[in-house]
Amino acid sequence: MKHWQMPLLAVCIAMPAAGADVDTAAALYEGRSGIVVGTAEIGGTRFPGTRFACKGCHGRDGRGGGESGAPSIEGTSLFAPMPDRPAYDIQSLAAALSEGRTPSGRKLSAVMPRYKLSADIISGLNIYLRELPARQRRGVTDENITFAVPAPPGTETFAKTYAALVEGSLRKSLGSLRLYGRQVRVVPMIGPPDEIATRAEAQAFAVMGMPPTTQPTMEDYLDRSIPVLFPLHPLSGDEDVTLVRGLSPSWRDIAQAVSGELARQKNEVLLILTTDPDHPMLQALRRSWKGKLMLNLPAETRDNCNQPKCAALLLRQNTVDWPRSSLRTLPADIRIYLLSSEGGQAALDAAKGGRNITLILDAPAMLSTAITDNVTTIEAYASTSAAVLIDALRAAGPDPTRAALLDAIGDVVLPDYHLDYGKARLNGTSKVTFAVLSSDRWDAESGR
């Protein structure tokens, strides 16, 4: 598509200036909202510059392609001559930025916005684009490709175990740890929280198996454009798939499934007990549940919440005997929901005591793999991580970029692991299953 010779190029080009603002330029390239970076005008209407981010057409790695047929704009391509245009220089870059004109004098398509950016941002973009090939290949050398498992204090043992299990699965599948001549390394990154993200930015191709800790947060990696793969906690469901991929249903998926199950049971009121007002499941339910939601109703009034109209959901609480203390305060016949990842054993114990318990299996595919292979959940998680990684690395090719890896995961289909990223782009699965427990058995209901 010839009219895409330089789509959105203007925002991504620059000329040297003394005060280069590389951080803001990176935010502009990636389209981060809430940052003032100038304006983009199209069709006579002016928009914030980030409305038309470079990555939208040219990809995070600047290599272009995709449905738009956008050209490569990483530094090695942008400042080199092409068959249909001379190399860009300072003057022609400035003309493309403000006027939409190529070095050969051809006018770019009207769909190309015209940008107004400060000299510092323009200079920062110049530096950013020249650095982009190296940024996108951090963690990759001729000998190795390195993935980091974050290990803030208290998680070191888990990180070492998970890393060893992933490498073991890679070796079993590949016959070695080598792919395209490089050794695939999965390395625990141990240290203070404020250092891990900084080290990962420089040393890792991506982080994987991130534990559910408060520091460093997932945003600490994403703000540095470090891909986050297969975190051990559910994702919100709103994440950018060009930077994040998971392995189990998101909080949005779980909340939608629970809302559907409540409607099927003809519940009209959901009582939620939790000490965490910011619990992600609570936030997701507020968007998906159309009935009445009551949060932490006082114990003396809970007898008014009875079936068939009312159900209860127990979310993790900061008490030693959680969730048993909450179960004691609920009406005897109320249907009670618990997440298997938070209160599985307590749910089984409560069911044996005669309570009406429905267990939310929030990662049924992983549970199925663990049962089928007769392994622990963490072993199943590690082998699944390795299987996705192998397919994606093969598809990304011998010269992988971070963006190419994330894009390749989008094509991974693994029936044996119940994953299809073509259908469930973020996590490969959105299936949530419910298990109705009783004192002597449990019945798995169909996934919803």
Q: Which of 268-272, 276-280, 344-348, 409-413 has the lowest mean pLDDT?
A: 344-348
Two tokens, residue 233: 């906690």
Give the chain's mean pLDDT: 86
In this predicted structure, the answer to whether residue 432 has a pLDDT above a threshold of 50 is yes
Report how far residue 49's alpha carbon sits from residue 38's, in angstroms, rounded to the nearest whole number.
5
Provide φ and ψ at 419, rounded to 5°. -120, 135
The whole-number pLDDT of residue 306 equals 62
In this predicted structure, the answer to whether residue 320 has a pLDDT above a threshold of 70 is no
Task: State pTM to two decimals.
Answer: 0.87
Instruction: Write down the domain spans for the chain.
Output: 2-135, 144-245, 251-362+433-444
Two tokens, residue 274: 């939790």
Answer yes or no: are the C-beta atoms of 216 and 224 closer than 8 Å. no
Closest by CA position to 438, among listed 357, 343, 342: 357
We find that the CATH architecture of domain 144-245 is 3-Layer(aba) Sandwich (3.40)
With pLDDT > 90 as the criterion, what percentage of the chain qualifies?
Answer: 48
Which amino acid is present at 303? D
Residue range 195-249, pLDDT digits in tens: 999 999 999 999 999 987 767 899 999 989 999 999 999 999 999 999 999 999 9
Regarding the domain delimited by 251-362+433-444, which CATH topology (the fold level of the hierarchy) does it fall under? Rossmann fold (3.40.50)
In this predicted structure, the answer to whether residue 8 has a pLDDT above a threshold of 60 is no
Q: Which of 61-75, 98-112, 133-147 shows the highest mean pLDDT?
A: 133-147
Asked if the domains at 144-245 and 251-362+433-444 fall in one CATH topology, the answer is yes
The whole-number pLDDT of residue 10 equals 42
Which amino acid is present at 172? K
Report how far residue 90's alpha carbon sits from residue 102's, in angstroms, rounded to the nearest whole number.
12
Give 215 or 312, the one with higher predicted confidence.
Answer: 312
Give 269 or 316, the one with higher predicted confidence.
Answer: 269
Helical segments of 292-410, H only: 324-327, 340-352, 364-373, 377-396, 402-409
Stretch 49-67: mean pLDDT: 84
Give 331 or 94, the one with higher predicted confidence.
Answer: 331
Q: Which of 6-20, 240-254, 299-313, 374-388 has the lowest mean pLDDT?
A: 6-20
Collapsed DSSP state (helix, strand, coil) of residue 246: coil
Host H or E run for residue 422: none
